[in-house]
Structure 1
């Protein structure tokens, strides 16, 4: 049976800290719903109703495009190892780019990364847990370093070029504002 909460409890925070993977869901007014898997030590719980997560440069940029229209966000974690549980955090989020004043302060919560593209600052409005009894067991083998190595090899100029060439529009043609263009 699902249970709902107004904020993240200490138990919820411990569950989040134990997971190696989470998912982010967003949608615009029209078009496709996006669900992205995330990892790489990219999430921090800053309080009972605040989560930040850092988005690294990649092939798409759907979350930024969706949040430019509607600031809704859902984060989801699954207990793949010992504890069976599914947990979702529902809320609203704002997008911070490296050019934004708050970016450096929030980025300091994470290890250095050449590919840091955005930080999402989420206000958690509701937390829901459910049993997770149908989630299979998976063993975490370890993190991948492929994306970080790619970003380091590209360098800042290469990353910014990638943003201009591949990250300015969502798959539905919505602007992501990655380069500061309106």
Structure 2
């Protein structure tokens, strides 16, 4: 059963801290790509800073969709789900902001995350911290999520294809069944040693798949004119919302016609004069000359 909460409670926090990974979803206002990213190492990358504030350390990757989307509109959904015997899905509907590594608030925020986690918050090649203000918390059953079963010979409960739902105690040992990959840390460490990480960010993190501005440090390293590029991105966003643009233009024209008819505006478009003169001809009133009126 779906339930909604205005903020995180203790049960939510216990569930979040017992999961081995989480997923982050974001999208542009207009465009072809909706992004979903799996995130590992939550014990040293994800922090709960308050009942309505969470943050995670964002590692350098092959793209920057989440960063671009947060810069543009801030909408983010974070999802946790149980792979243990107690099924549950939790979604955090959030408004986010990006704190890049060069930001003066970055180190302070990272230290606060470490304090909340009771240990070091670190990932090799980190490029930013994504801070999320929770607007709504949603929990649901999670019955469709597969369960990790270490005992291959353990029978399923139920008969045939019908597996019965039973009450389970909260599984706090699920993380023991997961082995973190060290591949990303190893790759980032080598890139840092060769001083090639920024070159990689310049190539892969300066914009999103839809052409939205990406990591600020990468854009600056490319000597982009930020004002021009941001303006271009804004026009691109508007051009992709044609329905809204045409609706706005149509509404403006309609409002102008109504105000002209009631005499509030003296500015009348030419087609309106033809319409009014047609009405005058129908009732036998002399037509009004366009040249005698204010245009």
TM over 0.5, yes or no? yes
Match of 2:37 in 1: 36
What's the CA shift for 1:91? Answer: 1.3
Q: Distance in 2 between matches of 1:172 and 1:133?
A: 35
4+ residue runs over 6 A deviation: none
What's the CA shift for 1:29? Answer: 1.1
Q: Distance in 2 between matches of 1:28 and 1:161?
A: 26
Match of 2:178 among 141, 148, 152: 141
Structure with max Cα Rg:
2
TM-score, length basis structure 2: 0.59
Corresponding residue SS for 1:53: strand
Gapped runs of 5+ residues in structure 2? 115-119, 150-176, 221-225, 227-295
More contact order relative to length (CA 8 Å, sep ≥ 6): 1
TM-score, length basis structure 1: 0.94
Match of 1:13 in 2: 13
Alignment of 1:167-182 (within 5 A): 167-179=205-217, 181=220, 182=226
Match of 1:88 in 2: 91
- CA-based RMSD: 1.4
Residues 103-148 of structure 1, C-alpha deviations (whole Å, 9 max, x = no match):
1122232433331011001011110000111111136331000000
**In proportion to residue count, which structure has more strand?**
1
Q: Contact conserved, 1:163 with 1:178, CA < 8 A, in 2? A: no
Residues 46-105 of structure 1, C-alpha deviations (whole Å, 9 max, x = no match):
110010001100111100111111011110011111220000001101001011111112
Alignment of 1:95-174 (within 5 A): 95-108=98-111, 109=114, 110-138=120-148, 140-155=177-192, 157-174=195-212
Count matched residues. Answer: 182
**In proportion to residue count, which structure has more helix?**
2
